[in-house]
Structure 1
Amino acid sequence: MKTWFITGISTGFGRIMTERLLASGDRVAGTLRDRAVLGDLEARHGDRLWLSTLDLTDTAAIRNVVDAAWMAMGRIDVVVSNAGYGLMGAAEELTDDQIRHQLDTNLLGSIQLVRAALPHLRQQGGGRILQLSSMGGQVAFPGGSLYHATKWGIEGFIEAVAQEVAVFGIGCTIVQPGGARTDFRSRSVAIGPINRAYEASPSRMINRVLEDRTILSPGDPLKMVEAMIGSVSQNPAPLRLTLGKDAFTLIERALSTRLTALRTQSELACSTDVAGEPSGAPWFDRIDS
């Protein structure tokens, strides 16, 4: 039996994961905005489900809730940073308040959640962190600039943290789902004000996709959740977990394109070093020494 801490368990991946874990006999400490929506699970599973309200934009509350969860559960084996939403629209269309809220929720909230959990994980001798990203953490689409900023940002953060905390027995996995048949598009997407100057921009594609409810995402959310849960048994922890054929195809294409472009700049890049210096032992090789 494992104990999990999961943010954003009222809908989507968080709800499905919570249901699956409780059904298998595990314990869950979960956060959400309205406890009433999980009254059925709370009544059915008793003290194997611990709930707390949490708004990820409230930095002080994050640490308090994490501390309270550890105190209530005694030990937490897996921390799942799942809560978040998508802000869509061309960068110029978005308001300053929308931008701040997106960054505070998806990026800063996720960062502070991990920071709050790390002391507990260290003290107990290890554990796992699953950070929900998206194929949008490696691929960028017009109309999703701020959402991508948060996902690319959290991927860089987790990749660095994974190297910092492996010595404590803590493993980190970045989860990159493609489109899934959850209620994300109907419940978890905000849209910026429409600027008619952008009618000719490819950013408007996002608006059309969100408006057309006949477009179905290919991913099976239950299969994706099962893969996330299964990844916790892998040792060492996979740094990234890509889920969905669309995610795999688009990420592979983006990485290949970037690598090809990088290789064309090899001669230029090397030409900007200080002349006459030895080429061996660059500074970054010393990090592991």
Structure 2
Amino acid sequence: MKTWFITGTSTGFGRLLTEKLLQRGDRVAATVRQPSALDALQAEYGDRLWVAVLDLTDTAAIRQVVDAAFADLGRIDVVVSNAAYGLFGAAEEVTDEQIRHQIDTNLIGSMQLIRAALPHLRAQGGGRLMQVSSAGGQTTYPNFSLYHATKWGIEGFVETVAKEVAPFNIEITIVEPGATPTGFGTGLVSAPAMPEYDQTPAGDVRRGLFNGDFPIPNDADKIAQAMLDSASQHPAPLRLALGPDTYADVRAALVARLAALDAQQDLALSVKADA
């Protein structure tokens, strides 16, 4: 039996992970925004489900909840930073308040969760961290600039932390799911559309999203299972690209970036200081 700590367990991947883990006999420390969200699971699984209310924009609360979970449950084997949401709108359309909330939740909240867990993982001699990102952690789509900013940012943070904590037997995996029917689209926070962007790629994406034109090719249950399976892999994979859309989009982005870099090789070498 392993013990897991998972944020954002009311719906989506967090809920699926929690259900799968409890069904197989593990313990879960689950955080939610609404205290009643896991009442049915609590009634079914009793003290194998530890529940706390947590808002990721509250750094002090993150530390208190993480400390309490380790104090109450002892060793926690896997910490999953999953809670997040998407802000939808062209960069010029979103408000200052929306920008701040997106960054505070997805980026700073995820960073602070990891920071809060690290002392406990070090003290117990190691463990696993799992950061849920998305294909949008390495690719970009119009109207998701702020969401991308948080996902690209957390991937850079996590990749660096993985190098820092490897000597403590702490391993980290970045999970990059593609489009999946988890309710992400219905949970998007949207900015008022500006008419200036109507006949632009941003306008095309807006219409496509609201008309349901974009394919959603992935199975949420299979992605959750792949995440669970990865926790037993040693060494831990740094990234899990999950979904044919993730594979295609991330590969295309990386190939294009490498081609652009290679095209600038002469320029890059030309600015070397003279010996």
TM bracket, shorter-chain basis:
over 0.9
User: Which is worse superposed, 122-131 or 34-43?
Assistant: 34-43
Matches of 1:103 and 1:114, distance apart in 2: 16
Report how far residue 214 of structure 1 moved. Answer: 6.5
Which deviates the most, 38-47 or 212-221? 212-221
- CA-based RMSD: 0.9
Q: Name the stretch that deviates more: 262-271 or 105-114.
A: 262-271
Deviation for aligned residue 1:265: 0.8
Per-residue CA deviation, residues 37-57 of structure 1 (Å, 9 max, x unaligned), is 211000000000000000001
- Following superposition, the deviation at residue 261 of structure 1 comes to 0.5
In 2: Cα distance, 1:207 partner to 1:89 partner: 8
Do residues 271 (structure 1) and 266 (structure 2) align?
Answer: no
Residue by residue over 1:225-283, the C-alpha shift from the partner in whole angstroms, topping out at 9 and shown as x without a partner, is 0000000111111000000000000100000000011001111111111111xxxxxxx
3-state DSSP of counterpart to 2:5: strand
Indicate the residue corresponding to 1:207 in structure 2: 206
| Consecutive unaligned residues in structure 1, runs of 5 or more | 277-289
Looking at structure 2, the residues matched to 100 and 163 of structure 1 have their Cα atoms a distance apart, in angstroms, of 29
Deviation at 1:211, TM superposition (A): 1.4
Counterpart residue type for residue 162 of structure 1: A
Equivalent residue pairs, number: 275
Q: 3-state SS of the aligned residue for 2:25?
A: coil
Structure 1 residue identity aligned to 2:244? K
CA deviations 1:195-235 (Å, max 9, x no partner) are 11111121123322331246551110000000000001111
- Aligned partners of 2:50 and 2:145: how far apart in 1? 36
Distance 2:33 2:200 in 1: 36
The correspondence of residues 162-173 of structure 1 with structure 2, limited to 5 A, is 162-173=162-173
Is the contact made by 2:2 and 2:27 (CA closer than 8 Å) also made in structure 1? yes
Gaps of 5+ in 2: none
Please say if residues 78 and 130 of structure 1, whose CA atoms lie closer than 8 Å, have aligned partners that are also in contact: yes
Q: Could you tell me whether the CA contact under 8 Å between 2:198 and 2:204 is conserved in 1?
A: no
Tell me the SS of whatever aligns to 2:176.
Answer: strand
Letter matched to residue 263 of structure 2: T
Sequence identity (%): 59
Q: Which residue of 2 aligns with 1:228?
A: 227
CA contact (8 A) 1:173 1:237 kept: yes
What's the CA shift for 1:166? Answer: 0.4
* Contact 1:121–1:127 (Cα < 8 Å) also in 2: yes
Contact 2:32 2:52 in 1 (8 A): yes
Q: Which amino acid aligns with 2:239?
A: R
Structure 2: distance between partners of 1:86 and 1:42 = 28
Per the alignment, residue 74 of structure 1 pairs with: 74
Q: Which residue of 2 aligns with 1:279?
A: none
2:111 equivalent to 1:111: yes
- Tell me what 1:283 maps to: none
Q: How does 1:168-247 map to 2 (within 5 A)?
A: 168-186=168-186, 188-213=187-212, 215-247=214-246
Match of 2:27 in 1: 27
Q: Deviations over 1:3-56 (max 9, x none)?
A: 000000000000000000000000000101012121100000000000000000
Rounded to whole Å, the distance in 1 between the matches of 2:213 and 2:155 is: 31
Deviations 1:65-99 (A, max 9, x none): 10011111111000000000000110000000000
- Is the 1:209–1:215 Cα contact (8 Å) retained in structure 2? yes
Deviations 1:165-190 (A, max 9, x none): 0000000000000001111111x211
Partner of 1:251: 250
For 2:61, the equivalent position in structure 1 comes to 61
Structure 2 match to 1:262:
261
> Taking structure 2 as the reference length, what is the TM-score of the superposition?
0.98
| 2:201 match: secondary structure | coil
Give the aligned partner of residue 280 of structure 1: none
Report the AA paired with residue 262 of structure 1.
L
Counterpart CA distance in 2 for 1:216 and 1:266 is 38
**Secondary structure of residue in 2 paired with 1:10:** coil
